[in-house]
Amino acid sequence: MAGDNLQVLNALDTVKTSYYHFTAVVIAGMGFFTDAYDLFCISLVTKLLGRIYYHVDGAPKPGTLPPNVSAAVNGVALCGTLAGQLFFGWLGDKMGRKRVYGMTLMLMVLCSVASGLSFGHTPKTVMATLCFFRFWLGFGIGGDYPLSATIMSEYANKKTRGAFIAAVFAMQGFGILSGGVFAIIISSIFKNAYKAPPYQVNALASTVPEADYVWRIILMFGALPAAMTYYWRMKMPETARYTALVAKNAKQAAADMSKVLQVDVQAEPEKIEQLTQNKSSQFGLFSKEFGRRHGLHLLGTTSTWFLLDIAYYSQNLFQKDIFSSVGWIPPAKTMNAVDEVFHIAKAQTILACVSTVPGYWFTVFFIDRMGRFAIQLMGFFFMTVFMFALAIPYHHWTRPENNIKFIAMYGLTFFFANFGPNATTFVVPAEIFPARLRATCHGISAAAGKAGAIIGAFGFLYLAQNQDKSKADAGYPAGIGVKNSLIVLGFVNLGGLLFTFLVPESKGKSLEEMSRENEDENNTEAEEGQNKTLPV
């Protein structure tokens, strides 16, 4: 129980915020910076890939990726991420957080570089090798989710734990922003160095041979920030909670935390022995006891993350199509290949500056004041409202005089996604499950989210197509249109709001209090209703 906790865990819960906490945020956060950059930079270059590898002589529009290729290029990294979240989450509980942490980072570095070196003489071979390396890139990214969240939650004190975990996740915002900025820089350099006419003036000359370097450089840049933090990740000690509660090594846990926190901590091996003998706290993931204690919690974290990512990734990966549909990006035929990359990156950068990045940091500032539940409920509510406000009068927003207003409304849905469930769904699973299952359960929750992302990424490709097949993109069947797609996403957000009521509030509580892993059977029965979301 909380009051009878190990001294090393009490020290972690009550210690003042120190330099080491901020160092841990940066070390873990740079992984998420790379994650976001690598996952979302592909949306900046898919139009360019279509122009380079799928040009059709005499066509009125520039070449585009065929539906199956576009789905694979956009979605394969998400499939890898889902697999990595499950595998590395499980491995982090079996081998320890630190031992697995370096593996994920090196995989990300190697596959970022390899993605840019995708080889072949035909479009098919280039796309096949790109998809292969992006799958394994996603696999490494997937491991970063449960490990970074778990490590930060196990290091932080209970007063500011939410802010520190959210700050790690908020580095995603800077990753998305940096992707846009870097693409603007690279496309500007190539645009000025290699002049090309718009597609409608000279279709063949509009894509200069050097444009093939643009997408490769943009993809490879993601390796740099990850490589820079590898040394520091390897220098981090294993978390005391894993060492003490899972590895059962009280002396090592006390020694590590004495060095990190710069306080004297007693080892207390006899308490570790007592915890080991308490069979009621040794239940497994698929046991009835886990289902009784945490079954609804796991349903809550998986369902909310799943529903959120359907909406979030469909919007984020395909925002270039939404910008084009309202006229914020010029028609493709009026631009050359590199110029189109510039305009797409500029639109993403503006949106990141005004909505994505501020939303993340609003969560960091308010999460330990408002609580996780309130922020998640508020976020889903406003995402639902703004999505329906965009969808129902959609044709009103598509008029040229309303384009800026449409983008403002669209930006608000991103703001409340990030100052809302996109951050809290990451934070909460790292706080409410037992230490020996914490990374596994976070990985399961995150994998459910990526399953939603895959549905969003693949589904929106087809759903958002024009209802008139003659106006749909080449190779695509008729869809339900952007308006109806936005209505569907509005109902998805509403579902997320309802499932939020299954998620407990963890503000101000220790990890052991939330997981109840140190309780005996009598205390478990007595406190069965303690961790409810709603007040009685």
370, two tokens: 């408002």
Residue found under tokens 């970074």: 148
Q: Calculate the dihedral angle through the C-alpha atoms of 122, 125, 129, 134, rounding to the nearest 10 degrees.
A: 80
pTM of the model: 0.88
Cβ(70)–Cβ(461) under 8 Å? yes
CATH of domain 15-273+286-517: 1.20.1250.20
pLDDT band of residue 254 (cuts 50, 70, 90) is confident
Tell me, what DSSP letter sits at residue 246? I
pLDDT band at 268 (very low <50, low <70, confident <90, very high): low
Which pair of tokens denotes residue 334? 């009026």
- The predicted-structure confidence for 289-306, as pLDDT tens digits, reads as follows 888 889 999 999 999 999
What is the spatial distance between Cα 253 and Cα 244, in angstroms, rounded to a whole number? 6
* 284 or 282: which leads in pLDDT: 284
pLDDT for 522 beyond 80: no
pLDDT digits (tens, 9 = 90+) for 409-464: 877 888 899 999 999 999 999 999 998 899 999 999 999 999 998 888 777 767 76
Query: 16-36 b/e with 16+ CB inside 10 Å = b?
Result: eeeeebeebbebbbbbbbbbb
Distance CA 460, CA 71 (A): 10
* Sign, Cα dihedral of 11, 13, 16, 18: positive
Helices and strands, counts by H and E, the chain: 24, 0
One DSSP character per residue, 440-461 reads HHHHHHHHHHHHHHHHHHHHHH
- Residue spans of the domains in the chain: they are 15-273+286-517
Distance CA 141, CA 470 (A): 39
Quick: pLDDT tens for 80-94. 999 999 999 999 999
Q: Answer for the pair 431, 153: CB distance below 8 angstroms, yes or no.
A: yes
Q: Considering Cα of 353, then 451, then 473, then 198, what sign does the dihedral take? A: positive
Do 419 and 369 touch, CB atoms closer than 8 A? no
Q: How far, CA to CA in Å, does 271 sit from each of 267, 284, 380?
A: 9, 21, 43
| DSSP per residue, 382-420 | HHHHHHHHHHTTHHHHTSGGGHHHHHHHHHHHHHHHHTT
| pLDDT band with cut points at 50, 70 and 90 for residue 326 | low
Helix axes 123-155 and 438-463, enclosed angle (nearest 10): 140
Tell whether the model's pLDDT for residue 535 goes beyond 50. no
Q: CA geometry: angle at 302 spanning 297 and 308, to 5°?
A: 125
**Residue 366, Cα to own-chain centre: how many angstroms?**
20
Residue 527 has pLDDT above 50, yes or no: no
φ/ψ of 126, rounded to 5, equals -65, -45
CA pair distance 320, 344, nearest whole angstrom: 6
What are the C-alpha distances in Å from 400 to residues 161, 350, 360?
46, 19, 31
| Whether the Cβ atoms of residue 130 and residue 407 lie closer than 8 Å to each other | no
Cα dihedral sign, 152-377-313-84: positive
Q: Quick one: CA dihedral 317, 323, 329, 335, positive or negative?
A: positive
